[in-house]
Structure 1
Amino acid sequence: ASAATSLPEVRKPSLAIDLIVDGKRVTLPDTEPYIDDAGNTMVPIRFVSEKLGADVKWDNGKQIVTIIHKGNTIVMPVGSKKVTVNGSEITLDTMAIKKESRVVVPLRFVSETLNTEVKWDGAWSAVNIVSPEYQSKIDNGAVTLDRWGRELRANQNSDEWILMSDTPDNVYKIGKYKITHTDTQRPAKDYYNLFSKEDLDRIVKNIKEYYRLALNVDFRSINPTNYFQQSFKLQGSNGYLNPTPFTNTANFIKQNKVISEGYAYPDPTTLYYFHGTVFMRTKFKFRVLNANDYSQFNMDSIDPSASSESPKWVKKGQWYETYSDVSLFTNHQDFQSTLKIGSTENMFVKEYYVHKELK
């Protein structure tokens, strides 16, 4: 009974939201942004201090957060829609709240009060935040952005990749593996340009949706039949998928008492074609909150094939960031518009991924 009461509450999984601040996609070390019932994007206060450069003060006794930035002061009592901006009281349609012992605040209100521009791109679930100083760099050509508002490195010295300023070098050094064995190859540097932003957004959203399902599992609520049916909708197929691997996975999650959460952040500029398969390099963020065996927690890691592995380095409750390639598939003639998730083993293919603990 005491073990049961120590488990986290059953949560509704959130779709990954990319946060781009002054041209760089950011990774938060713990609590992720989410959209509340009123449609507001909520972010942890740590994001405001570290990424927006504000001075944040927390009064634990009064449960009040104070945000100071370039002469602007916002006072936000937790649990109240009444806030104070530079001494004047304002009533919002949302409020600062406590979530998993972290204070989260409404992003748009805070960002715009701190004089930054906020744009929501629902096509791929992303928020782009631009400060006046960075906008000046854009306007005078000091920086170059891709179609999603991310900054390209000034030195594009790769024959394979479009190099992004927010992506570490080791991510571009991850090897490429063959699934099929035709001879044709097309590097991301030219292949992704065959796709419109609309097509790439759809692929990104498909990967995010699939891993919202695959990484957010709870042994107390998972239903094997529903798990297969939802997976089927998100996967590229010939119109048929064998339900057995999916129902076996769901049943193992029950047996292994898995509770996990996570997110996928595909990079549309990395779409490439390699020996008959299309791939998109993807950043993952996840943690396993409960399990008998912490190395087997989702479809990618449970009973892996000879080419994949169960990550033995996973620790209870620790957030991880990993990068690997997600394979895509379609048998439709309208190739660009119908690519979907093509494999259930993407995250832990042996020797073809990198990982680190988030601090």
Structure 2
Amino acid sequence: MNKRLGYSLAAALLAVTLLGNEASALSYKSTQRPIEIILDGQKIKFHDSRPVVSTSGTTYVPIRVVSEQLGAKVTWDARQGKAVIAKGDSRIELTESSKQAMVNGTIVALDAPMVVQNGRTLVPLRFVSEALQVEVKFDDKSYYIFMKSDQYDESAKYDPYGRKIRTTNLPKNAQDFPYILEDIPNEMYEMELFYDPFFKNSFKDVLKTQKHYMLRLDNVNAWKAKIEKYYSLILNANYENIDFNWAKEAHSFLNILGTDEDLRSYVNWVKSNKIQLEGSLVAEPSIFYHGGDTFRMRTKFKFKIKNFNKYENLIYDSSFHLTKNDNGNLPEYQKDVWYEGIADIRLSSTIGGAVYTPKLQVSGTTSLFRGNALIRKSE
């Protein structure tokens, strides 16, 4: 299932954002699906700046986050626009916008240069990792990049994706899950599952759902992809470049009767109200269950509202206006403030026999704000 990182992702990148000057512009899709990087079985945590995939298929990452995760030291010469990454006997010199690098005193050609975007230095992940003798592979189904260094623990247990399982500091309800991941906080597990009281007898918890004989990993990956692609559009709506193609693409991931007229109305509202959002959502495939009415997959999301004129319907979600849900009060969202949360996203289909198949779609009535969702300001 794993493939080399060098496989092109460009086919998925249809809309483009250009940043920086002509010489160092990084061209990428602003609404692209988030990509997760797994180092020795654990996700690398990114804060203000996440990995992005350029239109040429190169994965860029913040230099300090990844290099220091690999045990390397980074120094930056602002005057020359040069970065030096050093680890043991390995030394890499990169210059902004240059397609040449110096590796241990030897000039090496680059497929993609180092770039500086909004004050942050981004480097091509594959080149830097392999120069530091770290194995890199890309799983295009789960959208995980796996990195394996000399610190990889062969004796540890890993889940079907290759993520490290922990056996200590477990959540109080650990027995309700097939395993507990090292890099997922207890809060993500301890948040109560949603169930519809009208369909209580149909409720299946995570263990029962995942033991079903029809459940296939490829199908779970397909549902994960639809959720992440849909919310990559929703959480990055931007009056400067949104159009009806945005509505058409978002509609393609939804299980909803009728046309994309409602989404088109939102597009017009984004433009007239000058709405500008930035965010991402990552679905956790190991926390998947049946709430009695439909399937649900737990997700973690982050967003900020960069601009608007009127505080109304800023996010395409019928419950955005809520001030309270089952978990308590919800915030009134401020401009340029990051918020983070956990939500169980509904999956459903109007097609008979679609249960446990890739045909499940994001439910048209799902919400980031309703029910058992948790939302707070980012720390």
TM-score between the two structures when normalised by the length of structure 2: 0.82
Amino acid at match of 2:194: Y
* Aligned pair partner of 2:163 in 131, 140, 150: 150
User: SS of the residue aligned with 2:175?
Assistant: coil
Matched, 1:330 2:346: no
User: SS of the residue aligned with 1:270?
Assistant: strand
* Aligned pair partner of 2:59 in 41, 49, 58: 41
Counterpart position of 1:347:
368
- Bigger CA drift: 9-18 or 193-202? 9-18
Counterpart position of 1:229:
248
Contact 1:249 1:302 in 2 (8 A): no
Structure 1 unmatched runs, 5+: 1-7
Matched, 1:262 2:279: yes
Contact 1:180 1:277 in 2 (8 A): no
- Bigger CA drift: 57-66 or 178-187? 178-187
Matched, 1:196 2:221: no
Change (3 A) 1:37 1:219: closer
Amino acid at match of 2:151: E
- Bigger CA drift: 168-177 or 341-350? 341-350
How far apart, CA to CA, are the structure 2 residues paired with 1:78 and 1:154?
A: 44
User: SS of the residue aligned with 2:255?
Assistant: coil
Change (3 A) 1:181 1:251: farther
Amino acid at match of 2:122: V
Contact 2:318 2:367 in 1 (8 A): no
Instruction: Give 1:246 shift.
Output: 2.4
Counterpart position of 1:5:
none
Instruction: Give 1:164 shift.
Output: 1.2
Instruction: Give 1:273 shift.
Output: 0.8
1:1-359 alignment, distance < 5 Å: 12-134=30-152, 137-138=153-154, 141=155, 143-155=156-168, 158-161=174-177, 162-179=179-196, 181-182=198-199, 183-194=201-212, 195-223=215-243, 225-237=244-256, 240-241=257-258, 243-293=260-310, 296-300=313-317, 304=321, 312-332=331-351, 333-337=353-357, 338-349=359-370, 351-357=372-378
Instruction: Give 1:93 shift.
Output: 1.0
How far apart, CA to CA, are the structure 2 residues paired with 1:273 and 1:193?
A: 12
Structure 2 unmatched runs, 5+: 1-18, 21-27
How far apart, CA to CA, are the structure 1 residues paired with 2:108 and 2:370?
A: 51
Contact 2:29 2:55 in 1 (8 A): no
Higher helix residue share: 1
- Residues 290-349 of structure 1: CA distance to partner in whole angstroms, max 9, x if unpaired? 123568531137754697699535343333432211111113303222111114542222
Instruction: Give 1:179 shift.
Output: 4.8
Contact 2:193 2:372 in 1 (8 A): no
- Bigger CA drift: 264-273 or 276-285? 276-285
How far apart, CA to CA, are the structure 1 residues paired with 2:309 and 2:68?
A: 36
How far apart, CA to CA, are the structure 1 residues paired with 2:191 and 2:132?
A: 39
Amino acid at match of 1:274: G
Amino acid at match of 1:148: Y
- Let me know the Cα RMSD of the aligned residues: 2.7
Instruction: Give 1:71 shift.
Output: 2.1
How far apart, CA to CA, are the structure 2 residues paired with 1:79 and 1:344?
A: 45
Instruction: Give 1:256 shift.
Output: 2.8
Contact 1:19 1:126 in 2 (8 A): yes
TM-score between the two structures when normalised by the length of structure 1: 0.86
Change (3 A) 1:207 1:287: same
Amino acid at match of 1:254: K
% same residue: 27
